[in-house]
Structure 1
Amino acid sequence: MLAPEARTARIARVVPTPGATTREDPSRWRPELQGLRALACALVVIYHVWSDRVSGGVDVFFVITGFLFAGQLVRAAERGTLDLVTTWGRMLRRLVPTTAVVLAGCVVAGWFVVPESRWPQTIREVGASALFLENWRLAADSVDYYAAHNTASIVQHLWSLSIQGQFYLLFPLVVGLLALLARSSRTPVRHVVVGALAGLTVVSLAYSVYLTGTDQKLAYFHSLTRLWEFTLGGLLGLLIAGVALPAGVRVAAGWIGVVALSVCGLVLDVEGGFPGYLALWPVLAACLVLAAERTGSAIGADRWLSSAPMQYLGRISFPLYLWHWPVLLLALLATHREQAGLVGGVLVVAVSLALAALTDRFVDQPMARARRWRGAGYRSGAIAICAVLLLTAGWHAVALARATPSGVPGDANHPGAAALAPGFVYRGEPDPKPIPPAVSAYEDWVQYQGDCTSAAAEPGLERCTYVAAPRPDAPTVVVVGDSHMQQFLPALAPVARERGWRIDTLIRPGCPFSTTSESNVGEVACIDHNRAAIDDILRTRPDAVVAAASHDVRTGDTETTGPGMLDAWRILAGADIPVLAVRDNPRYGYPPSSCVDNYRRGAPECNVPRTDLYPATPPIRSMELPPTVSYLDLADWICGPRTCDPEVGNVTVYLDDNHLTATFTASLAPVVGPRLAALVDR
């Protein structure tokens, strides 16, 4: 999001005169920039509220930021007045207080509105946003920007402000170093900076195209895939001086840019393909408007962009961008809706505009006047960041206090999977709290209790110990496959500890055990991992191997047992190594717990028909299995006879959209233990 610092920016421009010479007018106003900001912000708000598509407005903010900031820094460097401390202080004063006010509002409102199951992620993201690291937080969590609104974070939109903050921090350093280089080589500063920006633009755009094609989720939030948008804007700002385009060309360029930007989200279906080369559309559209400048024409786009309403909307666009997303998300959570709708969307926009106007009046404008206070930027920034972090720490303390489970899987109040056994009679309290508690369910991952080392004969293969054996010659069970098998470990642990077995793992997320890749994600890496895992198993000869019997259990009868999975079992059968093949759990495409958040515990709206997920006959039944392979169908212990529910026996089944909670898999131990023992003791 473009910082409000730009609202008072003056653009230095070389203005042609009747003679052959030119003069620089450093006080020339560019009111159409404010209008362009208004248009970009309006598109972002409209698309967020009423559409699931990307508008391209954020890319425009990046271009304008580079356009203004590069020129300011280069002019200061040319005058010899570039002061990094003052530059950073000014940006802290303009960015941080307003952002802190919005984040504080998100913490207070989130406490009352955001469901507890989403507290941990929201708390992490608020802290990251306060430090301008939200884009890296989202990248680390592999967040899908295109996911449904009702599953997103209330501060997710601050990824763009984080990238902008990082640019404001690092770019003055770059210009300062380039200025030193220019002076030492007796080269004009502007020439050196232009050359550097051109190189950065090419490299960053190429990297953006590459990473978008290989890992789009990471590319969307990666700072380097967006850098070229800033540097291209900077190049335009530095090169436009002295270029006098014909008036007709500038009028046409302005309107082409405005129209192209306005229809970008309608024409381009950018899901899965952004930023990459598709980001060129909004970026070049913004460049056309910037290149058009003030045409002086009654029919120029700049006349509309310079109008009073657009100027005011541009002035409050920074707080409007910050407020509209949490207002939208909080409204959806409070009303238990997935979309705002026409009337609801209008109310969201109205509230966002009111909050933006108030923030501009009581925060932005006073901080703009604070430039006369020496050190005001650093003091205000530090105070604001500390206040947000303290609020976040308080929220985190409350979350920790509520994270203590009220029981253990298998007790009278929390039978878990045992509640699906034929003839089961519940004898616990009438309405106990579920385990794990909602506030910690998302964190209920299996934690390894042993050391992880590279396999002796396969250095690239990580072998971990989940249950240590009391003696070196104890029976060993190896669990191999993807993260679903990692989450399955608590179902195996009790029988292993009872009988003194060792449980080792050969886990790689996204890679079911197979001789081929069972998904398009990391195809080569999965093949290499599984080949190494097979070699390691054949070398160490464990007493049993546990692996998935199927994968891709989704709505629409998609469950598959790939030929590569059967081939892997046959290889182990040739060495007389028994395999327990476990039927995979369903994948929903949304966290089942989010449905409980939107409705209530036990709501029928959250119960998915079992036949929508599990076919009546598992695909493995049509295959001829080696005699050493034992098939374990857990469908009857994950789903009821008719529906698959988000909670079974007062135990939360899923921690996200496709991983079982460690607590629930622990409740499967009475079912799994005897089957595994039969293989090991054969």
Structure 2
Amino acid sequence: MAWSLIGTERIHETGAAPDTDKAQPSASAIDRAGSLSVPEYRHDLDGLRGIAIALVVLFHVWMGRVSGGVDVFLVLSGFFFTGTLLRRGDALGAIDVARVARRTARRLLPALTVVLAAVVVATVVLRPYTQWGDIADQTVASALYYQNWQLAYAGLDYAAPDPSVSPLQHLWSMAVQGQFYLAMTVVLAIWLWMYRRTSRTRLPRLGLLALLCVVAAMSFWYAMNGTAEHQAWTYYDSGARAWELLAGAALAVAAPWISLPGRLRAALAILGLAGVLSCGLLIDGGTRFPGAAALFPVGAAAALIVSGMNTPSARLPVVNTLLATRPLTELGNLGYALYLWHWPVLIFYLAEYGEPSPGLEGGLLVIVASLVLAYATCLLIETPLRARTAPTPVAGWRRRGTGSVVVLLGVGVLIAAFGWQAVLKANPARPPAALDAAEYPGAAVLAAAAGSTPERMRPTVFEGSKDAPRPTFDGCITPDRELRSCVYGDESASRTIAVVGGSHSEHWLPALEVLASERHFRILTFLKEGCPLTFSDEPSYARAPFPECHEWSEEVLDRLADERPDWVFVTATRPRTDSGDNVPPEYLDVWSALSDRGLNTLAIRDTPWLRRDGVAYRAVDCLAHRGSADSCGMDRTDALEPDNPAEPLAAAYPQVYPLDLSDAVCRADRCRVVEGNVLVYRDEHHLTASYARTLAPELGQQIGAVTQWW
């Protein structure tokens, strides 16, 4: 754990950890190799680690936002790990990559394995079986240190489940660090080997510092651009996060040359601590990191590291002395285990009680439970396995027994995860291409009062998430800035409807395809994930700034003006955060732009989004967790306003015609998740393609009345 973001090994100022390996060189050997003697131990960095983990936990539990604590950890990780490698390279003249990897794994994996095992068991016991596949995927990704890419691709791959409430989501940062550790070990090993070939024995710090600074600058530039264009991906991107780790690594390389006057050190310490404590209050890192805004926590951490460099403990600034006090250093020693435990404990608590936040009492319970689990993990797992030798035969047996249990847990976790993945692959979900209207009337039971006899629900809970429109799978809905256009329906027809916007425009496509086949018109699509047409960089309904959507929308409007479709099909409303639905002001700007271009617009009311007390949930999860079509639904008054809010507003736009199929999705009092034996929702708020196809008659009636095409 010496090199984890919040590891508990004793770390010296250069980042070197006291090592109990027999190969550990003496201080005199290090001096003979030309390196500085080992400096005094930095207890204040333990305390900084303690404050950072406290902020992470408190902000996750009660603030629901990023504190900047993880960014502090990344800087410390780069500093600690690089310093250790530098010291070993100077002393031994080489870096054994395999040996470093074994030692790092021995420190990181035991606690991680225990947490993964606990999450797997809790998932099987507490969560619906429809979530087991997601957790199996993320368990493997976490164990093999690519969880950040798993989450990044899940955010971009439109067919992937939403991982936002995964109990393993926080392990993305561990994956980023693990990748950095491997890369830095290889880089330093090669760097040292190259200079040994020229008969030099010392690792050349100045050239290495220049290299790290150049790579860090490139990573920072990449992060700034990525955050502006696609922050959801960039947040997890190792390349965008590298500069934070490299900032710490550069400090470790430059450490011998850093010596500051007392007043400057004191000022840096004060500013650094103030920055660490205030970061989460001033900046919502979840929407702005790791771009330029991350300079705030990274700079604060760097200031605190530098403020105590090459300074005896008796002359440390007051702030550093405060950080070195026992309560903070002990919290820092628990940091790694506490970081591992707090998020799954919080997520399982929220999922079990169906609450958007734990509140004061629930939050205290989560924190206490996390601290107890972290302490037990340190005492029973980490401490015995860190020791290279046992003081007594009993301690030796205990250490070997603990190691055996951890290995068995790790093997069991991987077998369970890979096993469930194999089961799902052997039994792939195949949504129905078509359903018998007599057995599966779907929306017809609401719109046309059709009769229905009970049949097995289709798509099933396993098929539901895959029952999506064709653009989801054929690449015609773009995840990035690219403008993609596809044609569906009767491609040779002279009449055209352009379906434009995000996924809530897309999920009407199956119904439109049915109509296009019957009524002979062409469907032209311009679709982008999460992006209704907008001219705002920060739409009122968006979780984060999304300038990429604005740029894409401008280009789409230009293409529509050139293509001149007969009608443009867009969504007209969105759900409110509390209850009901409304027309965001940004939509009115789009209506104006379409009207100015002489484009006729079909503006359809959005379907209800499943939520309970403000918490979104998937229909398939609820059904798999002993729910029913009715209990898994929601009251219509919570989902929709009594009247379509787009109707009065559209009156001011002569070329905008509102459509409303709410009565074909919801009953008078309840919006259920199954109608006419057909599953309505494939996730929290998207219609299944099967249900959308049953909406074709009602949608066709309304479109025909407006367009006069039939």
Q: Which amino acid aligns with 2:234?
A: A
Which residue is equivalent to 2:159?
none
- Among 379, 389, 397, the alignment partner of 2:414 is 389
Which residue is equivalent to 1:362?
380
- Among 262, 269, 278, the alignment partner of 1:263 is 278
Deviations 1:361-417 (A, max 9, x none): 3332344236999xxxx9999987664332223444666769688998676775432
Which residue is equivalent to 1:593?
617
Find the aligned partners of 1:381 and 1:367 in 2 and give their Cα distance. 10
Find the aligned partners of 2:150 and 2:216 in 1 and give their Cα distance. 25
Question: TM-score by structure 1 length?
Answer: 0.79
For the structure 1 residues 266 and 405, does the alpha-carbon distance in structure 2 shift closer, same or farther, using more than 3 Å as the test?
Answer: same
Within 5 Å, give how 1:352-501 maps onto structure 2: 352-369=370-387, 387-396=412-421, 415-421=441-447, 424=449, 427-429=452-454, 435-447=458-470, 462=484, 464=486, 480-482=499-501, 483-494=503-514
Length, aligned pairs only: 639
Q: Which amino acid aligns with 2:645?
A: P
Residue identity over aligned pairs, in percent, reads 29
2:111 is equivalent to residue 98 of structure 1: yes
After TM superposition, the structure 1 stretch with the greater mean CA deviation from structure 2, 606-615 or 48-57, is 606-615
- Among 635, 638, 643, the alignment partner of 2:662 is 635
Find the aligned partners of 2:119 and 2:163 in 1 and give their Cα distance. 16
Find the aligned partners of 1:410 and 1:631 in 2 and give their Cα distance. 31
> How far does residue 283 in structure 1 lie from its aligned partner after superposition?
1.9
Deviations 1:598-624 (A, max 9, x none): 995434865425217831726444443
2:165 is equivalent to residue 152 of structure 1: yes
Which residue is equivalent to 1:564?
593
Which residue is equivalent to 2:299?
284
> How far does residue 584 in structure 1 lie from its aligned partner after superposition?
4.1
Within 5 Å, give how 1:292-307 maps onto structure 2: 292-293=307-308, 295-296=313-314, 300-307=318-325
SS of match in other structure, 2:304: helix
- Among 35, 53, 63, the alignment partner of 2:47 is 35
The alignment yields a C-alpha RMSD, in angstroms, of 4.6
Find the aligned partners of 2:492 and 2:263 in 1 and give their Cα distance. 86
2:554 is equivalent to residue 554 of structure 1: no
Which residue is equivalent to 2:331?
313
- Among 303, 322, 329, the alignment partner of 2:340 is 322
SS of match in other structure, 1:218: helix
2:149 is equivalent to residue 129 of structure 1: no
After TM superposition, the structure 1 stretch with the greater mean CA deviation from structure 2, 509-518 or 391-400, is 509-518
Find the aligned partners of 2:4 and 2:443 in 1 and give their Cα distance. 52
2:553 is equivalent to residue 526 of structure 1: yes
Which residue is equivalent to 1:54?
66
Question: TM-score by structure 2 length?
Answer: 0.76
Find the aligned partners of 2:63 and 2:419 in 1 and give their Cα distance. 35
> How far does residue 653 in structure 1 lie from its aligned partner after superposition?
3.5
Which residue is equivalent to 1:141?
154
Q: Is the 8 A contact 1:450 1:466 kept in 2?
A: no
2:137 is equivalent to residue 107 of structure 1: no
After TM superposition, the structure 1 stretch with the greater mean CA deviation from structure 2, 228-237 or 549-558, is 549-558
Structure 1: tracts of 5 or more residues without a match: 16-21, 144-148, 455-459, 539-544, 572-578
Deviations 1:256-294 (A, max 9, x none): 433432233234344532332322222222223322335
Find the aligned partners of 1:495 and 1:212 in 2 and give their Cα distance. 41
Q: Which amino acid aligns with 1:279?
A: A
Find the aligned partners of 2:225 and 2:433 in 1 and give their Cα distance. 49
> How far does residue 513 in structure 1 lie from its aligned partner after superposition?
9.7
Find the aligned partners of 2:475 and 2:432 in 1 and give their Cα distance. 32
Structure 2: tracts of 5 or more residues without a match: 17-26, 28-33, 157-161, 391-395, 397-402, 540-546
Q: Is the 8 A contact 1:44 1:55 kept in 2?
A: yes
Q: Which amino acid aligns with 1:551?
A: A
Deviations 1:281-313 (A, max 9, x none): 222222233223353269834444434443333
Q: Which amino acid aligns with 1:664?
A: Y
Which residue is equivalent to 1:617?
647
> How far does residue 450 in structure 1 lie from its aligned partner after superposition?
10
Deviations 1:444-494 (A, max 9, x none): 32236997899xxxxx87554656x7xx97888665323334322221344
Deviations 1:317-340 (A, max 9, x none): 112111110011101111222211
Find the aligned partners of 1:34 and 1:533 in 2 and give their Cα distance. 59
- Among 351, 357, 374, the alignment partner of 1:333 is 351
Q: Which amino acid aligns with 2:527?
A: R
Q: Is the 8 A contact 1:207 1:225 kept in 2?
A: yes
Which residue is equivalent to 1:672?
699
> How far does residue 155 in structure 1 lie from its aligned partner after superposition?
0.9
SS of match in other structure, 1:53: coil
- Among 685, 689, 693, the alignment partner of 1:662 is 689
